[in-house]
Chains A and B, each alone.
Chain A
Amino acid sequence: MKRFATLFKALDESTKTTVKIDALVHYFKEAPEQDRLWIIAIFSGRRPKRAVTTGQLRAWAAEVAGIPLWLFEESYPIVGDLAETIALVLPPPDTETDHSLTYWIELLRELPQEEDTRKQAVLNAWNGLNLTQRFLFNKLITGGFRVGVSQKLMTRALAIVTEREESEMAHRLMGAWSPTTITWRDLIEVENSTASASKPFPFCLSHALDTKINCLGSTSDWQAEWKWDGIRGQLIVRDSELYIWSRGEELVTHIFPELVSIHNFIPQGTVMDGELLAWGEAGPKNFNTLQKRLGRRTVSKKLLQEAPVIFYAYDLLEWQSEDIRHKPLNIRRKMLEQLFKNPISGAPIKLSPTVEFDTWASLAKVQATARAEKAEGLMLKRKDGPYLAGRKKGNWWKWKLDPLTIDAVMIYAKSGHGRRANLFTDLTFAVWSGNDLVPFTKAYSGLTDAEFRKITSWVKKNTLERFGPVRSVSPHFVFEIAFEGIQASKRHKSGIALRFPRIARWRHDKSPHEANSLTDLKQILENFI
């Protein structure tokens, strides 16, 4: 744990990429194999199964600290992190142990069922660890290591240690593997690793278009496609099995049982990039329909009928078991179109069409109609570009429609978590309905730290009421809220729900009565559908 604590401190204390990579490289060179595997797993979001509930952790920590539970609960939002709050309230340890990271993870994995013994094991652990180590131990339980280590940073460090390509490392770390069943050699070193059949390729990610469209050069160098508002997915057919991965590197095959039949239509050794979309007679449906399918263990027949899903393919990454990501896009596209040449009737898979255009001006006109196509905008991809791993600038651009906006009044504020603890960053906004303000959305992002500090000091002086961590404030400030979509919703008091709401700007120039009304919002809703 000491070695892990040293690594963590180095990563946490520095904002400089080089320092972080050095720390990771050092760790990967020095640490025992099993610890190295766990570090990769933890920093790529593969934490061990939660061994103890957070409710138990809170109660035990308050008890050991000799404070009432409510006092612990009041402290938590101010610290902004549960693992940290626990580490801070506990009395200093009686002894200092030095076990490996793997030791602690194994301890958590093998905690006995019986609550008293579990509790004793956790309390013993706390009593042998210092502040940082305790925090890390708690994080192993609660998950969510945010130490500014991106997957990219970790793959770069591994590439340095192993003297291999970064993109190869990225690919090796993808998919379903567990430190308990894999060796360092198999994961990182083995040549031509007979990658498990389910292993996806790293997704190629785009940047938002940040120049004028005609600065992209000749139109003939670019392929345009609709940017769909679904779930980005990678479809793998290998060894007579079908696997679907989401961009968040989650295996989501089980959520979409209607797609399983695809492997009867697509040859073995094929991998495609595309979009999971709810599909109706008229084509793609909006994201809201698809959203009903997420976060469920099982999918009911009714839901399957209401919101059937298809895979809308737009790129081909592997063909006849050969990785073709290095081939230029126009070649990959031709191969993909070939695959769809004979209509695959009855299969829940379709080819996402390209958008033909001659001039940038004509494309701009097409882009403006995206909403009618149930798309968020356009994707522009360089025809001669390979399929890159991760977010690289220059080959893929997303060109989204301008968001919808509305002016709203801030009425509630709550402090944020992590680096935003102690700042009021979780804000609730309302629009007018007659003389009442009706809350309709929350938004967390879009302002600078300096603006959030101003809001924080204002909220402290203008609190009307407190409801736990939430404060109601006098209606005073108006903000422009931007959003990507709008839906009718029975769950919300206002009757509407927004997609991707965020603060576009602080309207210092407007007073509260100049904010929009619920009628204005409903008008947007009508036009949107």
Chain B
Amino acid sequence: MNALIFTPSGIYCPAGDFYIDPWRAVPRALITHGHADHARLGMEAYLATDIAGPVIRYRLGNIALEEICYGETRQIGGAKVSFHPAGHVLGSAQIRVEVMGEVWVVSGDYKIIDDGLSTPFETVRCHHFITESTFGLPVFHWPNQNDVSHQINDWWSHCAKNNKTAFLGCYSLGKAQRLLTMLDPSIGPILTHTAIDNTNQVIREQGIKLPKTFIANASVDPKNFSGAIVLAPPSAIGSNWSRRYGAQETALASGWMTLRGVRRRHATDRGFVISDHADWPGLLEAIKNTGAENVYVTHGYSNIFAQHLSNLGWNAKVLQTEFGTEIEKETS
């Protein structure tokens, strides 16, 4: 019997009778991180890291959520379980499950570069590794984060000089906070859309330092914030909400901005390549370092990526899940 099996409700551990990031209602769910396709409503009991906990509670409301620290071991039935940093967003975890000496790791979403905010990715040795493949194609190579910071700040300065408001589209959980730490507050005021501000509040209450921001709600007078940058979910850009700010330039921050076609389709003025997922070399390195012989490839370019791993000698399979890839979320 395998330590983990794949069921219509999600990834299941028979020995411990729990699911990991299930997409249907189940009695017990272990959650890698707070994004909506991994942390869903309807589970009777949740387990997540203490760092991810507050945001999951904020998003899912009054749920039975128990918290666990990185590296802490817990026995659940016949399974030994621990959570390890995945480097994806604040508090995101890879979940290690050991049953009778067989070790599985569910990595959720991950990136291996240090973004300066999330606890950096940690290699966990295992026999079976379940990996995402959002950017599992050899065309994805992330530029250095410092270089991207410069690009964004240069663009913001350029907008400020031309009396335009800079609108930067990004997800409210993860990307927004990471970008906040990359901005140079000496250029001008930083505003955030309500959805981002709400998440920021939760994170600040956890004692995590973020630069000073102003909430960009209806009571704000844009005239008081000349030279500002506004962080907002991509869907809010170009809406009635953003039009109040008058002359503006728009940009998106996403790994998909690598592709000129996607950039042009979104028709924003700029696209910055920055992602909370692993790029092609990142995925390969992470998989190699686990020492796993068996690799299960989930959401993303799973067929192509699994084929490549097979050719390189791994026992690799495609695993159908209901985890979304960014591009679907972004373009829907």
Within 8 A of A (CB), among B247-277: 258-262, 264-265, 267, 269-270
Q: Does A422 contact B262, Cβ atoms closer than 8 Å?
A: yes
B314 within 8 A of A: no
Q: Does B138 contact A84, Cβ atoms closer than 8 Å?
A: no
Q: Does A79 contact B259, Cβ atoms closer than 8 Å?
A: yes
| Complex CA distance for A491 and B183, rounded to whole angstroms | 60
Q: Scoring B residues 305 to 326 as 1 if CB is less than 8 Å from chain A, else 0, what string do you get?
A: 0001001000000000000000
- A482 to nearest B CB, angstroms? 25
- With a cutoff of 8 Å between Cβ atoms, the chain B residues found around residue A453 in the complex are 331-332
Task: Identify which of B259, B304, B308, B311 gathers the most chain A CB atoms within 10 Å of its CB.
Answer: B259
Q: Does B270 contact A12, Cβ atoms closer than 8 Å?
A: no
B208 within 8 A of A: no
- B26 to nearest A CB, angstroms? 23
A418 within 8 A of B: yes
B187 within 8 A of A: no
A419 within 8 A of B: yes
Within 8 A of A (CB), among B92-135: none
- With a cutoff of 8 Å between Cβ atoms, the chain B residues found around residue A67 in the complex are 138
Within 8 A of B (CB), among A380-428: 417-423
Q: Does A89 contact B139, Cβ atoms closer than 8 Å?
A: yes
- With a cutoff of 8 Å between Cβ atoms, the chain A residues found around residue B140 in the complex are 88
Within 8 A of B (CB), among A1-36: 12-15
| Complex CA distance for A233 and B23, rounded to whole angstroms | 62
Q: Which of A89, A456, A466 contacts B138 (CB 8 A)?
A: A89
- With a cutoff of 8 Å between Cβ atoms, the chain A residues found around residue B193 in the complex are none
Q: Which of B141, B270, B327 contacts A13 (CB 8 A)?
A: B270
> Are A457 and B269 CB-contacts (below 8 A) given A75-B139, A422-B259?
no
Q: Does B328 contact A419, Cβ atoms closer than 8 Å?
A: no
Q: Does A419 contact B261, Cβ atoms closer than 8 Å?
A: yes
Q: Which of A12, A71, A88, A420 contacts B265 (CB 8 A)?
A: A420
- A164 to nearest B CB, angstroms? 30
B301 within 8 A of A: yes
Q: Does B139 contact A88, Cβ atoms closer than 8 Å?
A: yes
Q: Does B260 contact A12, Cβ atoms closer than 8 Å?
A: yes
Q: Does B138 contact A75, Cβ atoms closer than 8 Å?
A: yes
Q: Scoring A residues 78 to 103 as 1 if CB is less than 8 Å from chain B, else 0, what string do you get?
A: 11110011001100100000000000
Within 8 A of B (CB), among A416-442: 417-423
The chain A residue with its CB closest to the CB of B259 is: A79
- With a cutoff of 8 Å between Cβ atoms, the chain B residues found around residue A422 in the complex are 259, 261-262, 327
- With a cutoff of 8 Å between Cβ atoms, the chain A residues found around residue B195 in the complex are none
| Complex CA distance for A75 and B307, rounded to whole angstroms | 13
| Complex CA distance for A71 and B260, rounded to whole angstroms | 20
A65 within 8 A of B: yes
A74 within 8 A of B: yes
A479 within 8 A of B: no
B68 within 8 A of A: no
> Are A71 and B308 CB-contacts (below 8 A) given A78-B137, A78-B301, A457-B328?
yes
Q: Does A80 contact B267, Cβ atoms closer than 8 Å?
A: no
Q: Does B261 contact A449, Cβ atoms closer than 8 Å?
A: no
Tell me the dominant secondary structure on chain A's binding face. helix
A353 within 8 A of B: no
The chain B residue with its CB closest to the CB of A419 is: B264
Number of interface residues of A (CB under 8 A): 32
- A413 to nearest B CB, angstroms? 16
Number of interface residues of B (CB under 8 A): 24
- A425 to nearest B CB, angstroms? 11
- B331 to nearest A CB, angstroms? 5
A226 within 8 A of B: no
Q: Does A420 contact B139, Cβ atoms closer than 8 Å?
A: no
Q: Does A75 contact B260, Cβ atoms closer than 8 Å?
A: no
The chain A residue with its CB closest to the CB of B267 is: A15
The chain B residue with its CB closest to the CB of A88 is: B139
Q: Which of B139, B265, B301, B327 contacts A85 (CB 8 A)?
A: B139
- A284 to nearest B CB, angstroms? 41
A280 within 8 A of B: no
| Complex CA distance for A422 and B261, rounded to whole angstroms | 8
Q: Does B332 contact A457, Cβ atoms closer than 8 Å?
A: yes
Q: Does B261 contact A420, Cβ atoms closer than 8 Å?
A: yes
- With a cutoff of 8 Å between Cβ atoms, the chain A residues found around residue B304 in the complex are 71, 74-75
> Are A421 and B261 CB-contacts (below 8 A) given A14-B269, A74-B304, A453-B332?
yes
Q: Which of A14, A79, A419 contacts B139 (CB 8 A)?
A: A79
Q: Does A419 contact B265, Cβ atoms closer than 8 Å?
A: yes
The chain B residue with its CB closest to the CB of A415 is: B261
- With a cutoff of 8 Å between Cβ atoms, the chain A residues found around residue B269 in the complex are 13-15
- With a cutoff of 8 Å between Cβ atoms, the chain A residues found around residue B139 in the complex are 75, 78-79, 85, 88-89
- B141 to nearest A CB, angstroms? 7
A112 within 8 A of B: no
Within 8 A of A (CB), among B152-176: none
The chain A residue with its CB closest to the CB of B155 is: A13
Q: Does A80 contact B265, Cβ atoms closer than 8 Å?
A: no
> Are A421 and B262 CB-contacts (below 8 A) given A13-B270, A457-B328?
yes
- With a cutoff of 8 Å between Cβ atoms, the chain A residues found around residue B267 in the complex are 15
Q: Does A71 contact B138, Cβ atoms closer than 8 Å?
A: yes
> Are A417 and B261 CB-contacts (below 8 A) given A71-B304, A75-B137, A75-B139?
yes
The chain B residue with its CB closest to the CB of A68 is: B311
Q: Does B332 contact A81, Cβ atoms closer than 8 Å?
A: no
- With a cutoff of 8 Å between Cβ atoms, the chain A residues found around residue B332 in the complex are 453, 457
The chain B residue with its CB closest to the CB of A85 is: B139
- With a cutoff of 8 Å between Cβ atoms, the chain A residues found around residue B328 in the complex are 457
A72 within 8 A of B: yes
- A210 to nearest B CB, angstroms? 25
| Complex CA distance for A74 and B259, rounded to whole angstroms | 15
| Complex CA distance for A418 and B263, rounded to whole angstroms | 10
- With a cutoff of 8 Å between Cβ atoms, the chain A residues found around residue B259 in the complex are 78-80, 84, 421-422
The chain A residue with its CB closest to the CB of B143 is: A131
Task: Identify which of B303, B308, B331 gathers the most chain A CB atoms within 10 Å of its CB.
Answer: B331
Residues of A within 8 A of B (CB): 12-15, 65, 67-68, 71-72, 74-75, 78-81, 84-85, 88-89, 92, 417-423, 449, 453, 456-457, 466
A–B complex contacts, Cβ < 8 Å, 17 sampled: A13-B270, A15-B267, A68-B311, A71-B308, A74-B304, A78-B137, A80-B259, A88-B138, A88-B140, A419-B260, A419-B264, A420-B261, A420-B265, A422-B261, A453-B331, A456-B331, A466-B303
Q: Apart from A75-B304, A419-B261, list 8 A-B contacts with CB within 8 A.
A: A12-B264, A67-B138, A74-B137, A78-B137, A80-B261, A89-B138, A419-B265, A449-B265
8 residue pairs, one from A and one from B, having the closest CB atoms = A421-B261, A88-B139, A419-B264, A80-B261, A419-B265, A74-B304, A419-B261, A75-B137
Residues of B within 8 A of A (CB): 137-141, 258-262, 264-265, 267, 269-270, 301, 303-304, 308, 311, 327-328, 331-332
